[in-house]
């Protein structure tokens, strides 16, 4: 196998004392990307399951693909729709327009994030951890397609360093890295991620699309939080032909990803289901007894179809690192995320997207929930001793 031989040949350059030693983590990252490491067990069990964190992360990335591809198409669709040129644009016009709008954000997210990952890995003499493969893919999906690249780069750098690396890397962070990126933009540069003017790309790209002079489109949640009546529920909200962050609009595309995650068992069905239960229950409660505003009057099915509710429930709440880790804890964690997301939407019109804050808040509480669940087991053990 010539590639294998080539890798073996260049390896000495990356070892201690080699002239490319500074890129050792890069070499190892690519080697293990190309070939499954054939190191064998030295102690402990002599056989291992074939499943590893690389496989896990790539499954999540595959699950995210429908949302990304549809998101690209929708970015083009929204531009042409707002310009009133839908009938003149072909499918591929819309898709390529969205592709060209989203791709730079995907590249910036990966380049900035992975550069930090590689540097830290090299510095700590560790292997590169795969966690950012997923975070880096999610980040462009949860920001508007108009988000300036430099802001995205700053936000990614901030979250990778301060939400993950300072805690010790993937598996040690207690806050979802992708959400911290979004939250950073949300609080530091609110004008690029909220309001009416950011959700549709308003200029042509490589001759595709249309220039929209001052024409804007609000998201459903934006409308509901600023006007007396929420927009009526339409099937477009399910298919995803509405303005919003790139990947969050299509319930169908997200559902495809959800199926893969649940089927492979990588995401917990308990967390996912309980987020929906919590959200639906809370929406029904506000319908009945809520304050007199459009958001409270919004029916539950509209609540879960618009904004980032589905995307958050499927891809963010189920992040195994930052969610509750005990089975019982997952139910509590999910229910509270769902309920909290709707509550923030209804009670605080300043933050119409409640999902991000709800998940980050519950990320902080997940260890407490787990503590209570584990403590029950501890108490049971202690009481056994007392009974004796």
Which residue has 């699309």 as its token pair?
209
Site for other proteins in 99-158 (CB under 8 A): 127, 129-131
Which residues fall within 8 angstroms of residue 64, CB to CB, at 6 or more apart? 134, 137, 138, 141, 247, 257, 315
Q: End-to-end alpha-carbon separation of the chain, Å?
A: 66
With the CA atoms of 10, 14, 16 and 22 taken in that order, what torsion angle do they form, in degrees rounded to the nearest 10? 160
Other beta carbons within 10 Å of 137 = 23
* Residue from 326, 341, 355, 359 binding other proteins (CB under 8 A): 326
CB 133 to other proteins: min, Å: 10
CB 376 to other proteins: min, Å: 10
* Residue from 22, 166, 188, 382 binding other proteins (CB under 8 A): 382
* Residue from 22, 30, 48, 259 binding other proteins (CB under 8 A): 48
* Residue from 46, 87, 125, 292 binding other proteins (CB under 8 A): 46
* Residue from 172, 188, 229, 259 binding other proteins (CB under 8 A): 172
* Residue from 148, 320, 349, 367 binding other proteins (CB under 8 A): 320
Q: Which residues of 111-130 are buried (b: 16+ CB within 10 A; e: fewer)?
A: ebbbebbbebbbeeeeebbb
The verdict on 244 binding other proteins (CB under 8 A) reads: no
Other beta carbons within 10 Å of 149 = 13
The verdict on 2 binding other proteins (CB under 8 A) reads: no
Measured CA to CA, the distance from residue 148 to residue 260 in angstroms comes to 32
Q: Which stretch binds other proteins (CB under 8 A): 137-145, 194-202, 208-216, 324-332?
A: 324-332
Give the single-character DSSP code of 127: P
The verdict on 380 binding other proteins (CB under 8 A) reads: yes
CA torsion sign for 321, 265, 38, 130 is negative
The verdict on 40 binding other proteins (CB under 8 A) reads: yes
Give the single-character DSSP code of 23: G
The candidate with the shortest Cα–Cα distance to 97, out of 236, 192, 203, is 203
Which residues fall within 8 angstroms of residue 12, CB to CB, at 6 or more apart? 18
CB 56 to other proteins: min, Å: 6
The verdict on 4 binding other proteins (CB under 8 A) reads: yes
Measured CA to CA, the distance from residue 25 to residue 380 in angstroms comes to 46
The verdict on 1 binding other proteins (CB under 8 A) reads: yes
CA torsion sign for 231, 236, 237, 240 is negative
Binding mask 58-77 for other proteins (x = CB under 8 A): xx------------------
CB 168 to other proteins: min, Å: 7
The verdict on 6 binding other proteins (CB under 8 A) reads: no
* Residue from 6, 15, 55, 227 binding other proteins (CB under 8 A): 55
Using CB under 8 A as the binding criterion, the count of chain residues that bind other proteins stands at 61
Give the single-character DSSP code of 86: G
With the CA atoms of 85, 91, 96 and 98 taken in that order, what torsion angle do they form, in degrees rounded to the nearest 10? 60
* Residue from 16, 41, 207, 232 binding other proteins (CB under 8 A): 41
CB 113 to other proteins: min, Å: 17
Closer to other proteins by CB, 192 or 324: give it: 324
Strand partners, 205: 208
Closer to other proteins by CB, 198 or 267: give it: 267
CA 20 to chain centre: 35
* Residue from 30, 51, 91, 92 binding other proteins (CB under 8 A): 51
CB 33 to other proteins: min, Å: 7
Q: How many residues does the chain have?
A: 388
Strand partners, 29: none
Closer to other proteins by CB, 105 or 164: give it: 164
CB 268 to other proteins: min, Å: 7
Closer to other proteins by CB, 59 or 102: give it: 59
Which residues fall within 8 angstroms of residue 153, CB to CB, at 6 or more apart? 108, 112
The verdict on 232 binding other proteins (CB under 8 A) reads: no
Q: Which residues bind other proteins (CB under 8 A)?
A: 1, 4, 32-59, 127, 129-131, 168-172, 263-266, 268, 320-321, 323-327, 370, 374, 377-378, 380-382, 384-385, 388
């Amino acid at each position: 196998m010539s590639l294998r031989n080539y890798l073996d040949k260049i390896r000495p350059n990356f070892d201690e004392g080699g002239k490319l030693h500074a890129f050792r983590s890069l070499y190892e990252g690519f080697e293990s990307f190309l070939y499954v490491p054939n190191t064998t067990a030295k102690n402990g069990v002599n056989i291992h399951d074939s499943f590893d964190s690389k496989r896990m992360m790539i499954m999540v990335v595959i699950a995210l693909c429908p949302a990304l591809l549809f998101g690209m198409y929708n970015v083009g669709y929204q531009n042409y729709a707002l310009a009133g040129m839908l009938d003149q644009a072909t499918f591929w016009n819309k898709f390529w327009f969205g592709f060209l709008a989203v791709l730079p954000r995907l590249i910036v997210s990966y380049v900035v994030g992975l550069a930090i990952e590689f540097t830290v890995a090299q510095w700590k003499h560790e292997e590169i951890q795969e966690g950012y493969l997923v975070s880096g893919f999610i980040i462009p999906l949860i920001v508007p397609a108009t988000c300036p690249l430099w802001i995205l780069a700053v936000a990614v750098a901030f979250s990778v360093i301060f939400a993950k690396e300072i805690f010790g890397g993937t598996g040690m962070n207690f806050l979802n890295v992708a959400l911290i990126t979004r939250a950073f933009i949300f609080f530091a540069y609110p004008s690029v991620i909220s309001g009416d003017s950011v959700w549709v790309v308003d200029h042509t790209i490589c001759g595709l699309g249309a220039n929209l002079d001052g024409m804007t489109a609000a998201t459903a949640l934006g409308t509901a939080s600023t006007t007396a009546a929420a927009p009526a529920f339409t099937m477009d909200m399910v298919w995803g032909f509405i303005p919003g962050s790139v990947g969050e609009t299509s319930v169908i595309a997200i559902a495809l990803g959800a199926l893969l995650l649940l089927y492979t068992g990588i995401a917990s069905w308990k967390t996912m289901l309980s987020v929906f239960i919590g959200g639906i229950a809370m929406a029904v409660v506000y319908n009945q007894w809520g304050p007199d505003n459009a958001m409270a009057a919004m029916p539950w099915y509209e609540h879960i179809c618009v904004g980032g509710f589905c995307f958050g429930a499927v891809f963010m709440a189920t992040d195994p690192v930052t969610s509750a880790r005990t089975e019982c804890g997952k139910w509590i964690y999910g229910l509270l995320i769902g309920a909290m997301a709707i509550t923030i939407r209804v009670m605080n019109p300043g933050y119409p997207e409640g999902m991000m804050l709800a998940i980050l808040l519950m990320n902080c509480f997940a260890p407490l929930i787990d503590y209570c669940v584990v403590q029950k087991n501890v108490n049971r053990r202690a009481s056994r001793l007392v009974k004796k």
